[in-house]
Amino acid sequence: MKLNLDIDRKSSATITRSFDRIAKDLIENWQLNLQGTLYSFTEIEFYYFDRASHPDKYSHKHSYMVGKWRFHLQGLDISLGYEKEDSTEEFCSYGGVLLRGLKSETDCINGPKRILAHIFKALDAVEEIQKEFGLVKRQNPKVQIYKSVRKGLSERYPDYNTQKYRYFHSIESWNENHVPPSEKKGIVHNSIKLK
């Protein structure tokens, strides 16, 4: 089975439903294999700009194909692709899924930059050619997924800074050195269950 990262761009509502579908699939059915250690996704955020129906200016403009890793100053994305208008070569859509939380049997990493640091520490020696890094199918029970507002956005774009595009589960197991109990309580208080 393949991870379906397609975005239905007909309207803002269909884009949001695409986020829900992708989040549920990614969290319930996939894990990150990092040098043989499997990590489930405990927290992700969606950023997607579509000029016609979803002009979310918090999204970073890029030209990565769907399903590619995209490293940037804020962390690591799974690219949702991009599209340009043929006539003008202007971008009309682009986006990604920001990784915010990973959990293995022994580690819980919260925060996009901490995830990047953890990945590069695991990849280790530069002379070593054989590296394991990518998504694999998950054989675990389903979890209750919640939606909340994305973390750390300014109030510059009021139509999108309160959208519930942050998806998470198992918040009780998050690393308290990374996410204090008071912050966890606020996240839970402002979240809704994904159906």
Q: Are 100 and 45 in contact (CB under 8 A)?
A: yes
Confidence of residue 1 (pLDDT cuts 50, 70, 90): low
Contacts of 86 (CB under 8 A, 6+ apart): none
Q: Where are the chain's structural domains?
A: 12-142
- Report the alpha-carbon distance of residue 43 to residue 169 in Å, rounded: 7
In this predicted model, what pLDDT tens digit does every residue of 43-91 receive, in sequence order?
A: 999 999 999 999 999 999 999 999 999 999 899 999 999 999 877 778 8
Q: Are 109 and 102 in contact (CB under 8 A)?
A: yes
Contacts of 127 (CB under 8 A, 6+ apart): none
Contacts of 76 (CB under 8 A, 6+ apart): 69, 70, 98, 99, 112, 115, 116, 119
- Report the alpha-carbon distance of residue 90 to residue 85 in Å, rounded: 6
pTM of the model: 0.93
pLDDT at 140: 67
Tell the residue number behind the tokens 């966890």, with chain if given. 184
Q: Are 161 and 149 in contact (CB under 8 A)?
A: yes
